[in-house]
Chain A
Amino acid sequence: MASKVDYTLDERGEVCPIPDVETRRKVKEMKSGETLEVLIDYALSKERIPVSVKAAGGEVLSIEESGPSEWKITIKKL
């Protein structure tokens, strides 16, 4: 999964709902075709973000476990 992403958001350690809000905001701003990589460390964010970015026009390409309780979510703006 070495394809380059346009933006990265590191939301690890952040208080709810920051990871969700910042991700959605970024996806809204992005241009069609651009990709975003979000780093999170909370399981609840992993479950919510795919649903919440849909409304902002984003599609989750992958969710990779990148460490103990850490994930990298790759999102593409449709």
Chain B
Amino acid sequence: MSVIIQGLLVGIIFGVVLQRSRLCFNSAIRDVKFSHDNYLMKMALVGILIETIGFQAAAQFGWIKLSPIAFIPAAQIVGGFFFGMGMVLAGGCASGITYRIGEGYVTALVAAVFFGVTGAAVRGGALSFVTKWFGTAITTTNNPGGVYSANNGAVNLTIASWLNINPWIIAIIFAVILLAVILFTKTTERKVSGLNWVWGGVAVGVVGIIGYLSQKTYALGITGGWINLFRATTGSLDPTKPVPYNWIGMLVFGLIIGSFIAALLSKEFKLRLPKHPKTFATVALGGIFMGFGAGVAGGCNIGHIFSGLPHLAISSIVATIFFVLGDWFMYWWLFERQTSKRS
């Protein structure tokens, strides 16, 4: 089966699962602090737990080489913070706005377009000069177990590659910690009409593993997908310089289709427009911040939090911290600072 078709299929399944489980990292991160609600966060943790073991096993069997995102401290710090802020303005994380397009949210489409365009500009386009501000990656030559992909001998930093210990040890310790948090913290009650936090988490985790086995170079991501969709679609305006659609571009396209089908079948599809046109400007700005942030940081909530943390990648750990800080800051700025101020 061609790689493109695989990407599409994985995307469709991912889209269905996201729509039914309603997993959104923006909401998960925000809710933990501002609503004292850990429901979506626990769903995410279940998925991350499954991938932590799953990715390691896949690498052990030689099916993939683990390819964590490069650690460029300033990039993950600044990019992470901007992305975190952007998610709140846009009304969703990268995967969130993508699947909401399938549900009929016009604001999500606006945010996603600005996300893709800005991301493309940062990664190889008109804004690519900004990447020079952040320096180069810190790598290692350690490759414990030989499970990591190496670029001329350079391996990207994970806790295991940094300390040069067997990655299984780190993976198992992390998995045990996650399991403890999942089992021993009280889950915020929520009556759901779709996949609950356990099944939703299991489903996204499994999709993540399938994604890695299919794409090989990495697990699930969103940013690269929108960039590819933008480049390939505008590229086709000039037939002499075609830009092919790739796995991750098809993943994102499939995501929208899957979410659309799931929404349609559960009667949750509805074309939704905000009351105030000003909202379009806010979500566009959110998309720009997200495109800049993820473009610079090397990944979005899916690339770093969902796909990166299972590697215990240093880049993803740092990015995640700053996604959270940016998210909390912007939510506080918009909604908590003064009760009279409306967004």
Contacts and interface: CB of A to CB of B under 8 A. Distances in A.
Interface string A31-62: 00000000001111011101110010000000
A15 B283 contact: yes
B270 interface: yes
A15 B279 contact: yes
A5 interface: no
Contacts of B266: 43
B37 A48 contact: yes
B193 interface: yes
A51 B188 contact: yes
B35 A16 contact: no
Interface residues of A, number: 25
B54 interface: no
A34 to B, nearest CB: 18
B37 to A, nearest CB: 6
Interface stretch (B19-27, B177-185, B237-245, B302-310): B19-27
A71 B187 CA distance: 25
Interface string B298-336: 000000000000000000000000000000000100010
A32 to B, nearest CB: 19
Interface in A59-78: 68-70
Contacts of B90: 15
Interface in A18-39: 18, 20-21, 25
A25 B339 contact: yes
Contacts of B186: none
A47 B37 CA distance: 12
A69 B270 CA distance: 7
B194 A17 contact: no
Contact of A13 (B22, B30, B37, B273): B273
Contact of A41 (B91, B191, B272): B272
Interface string B244-285: 000000000000000000000011111011110001001100
A70 B268 CA distance: 9
B335 A14 contact: no
A21 B335 contact: yes
A47 B193 contact: yes
A25 B37 CA distance: 17
A52 B37 contact: yes
Nearest to A68: B267
B343 A18 contact: yes
12 contacts: A14-B279, A15-B92, A16-B91, A16-B92, A17-B30, A18-B91, A20-B35, A25-B339, A47-B22, A52-B35, A69-B270, A70-B270
Q: Which A-B residue pairs are the 3 nearest by beta carbons? A: A15-B91, A69-B270, A13-B272
Interface of B: 22, 24, 26-27, 30, 35-37, 90-92, 96, 105, 107, 188-194, 266-270, 272-275, 279, 282-283, 331, 335, 339, 343
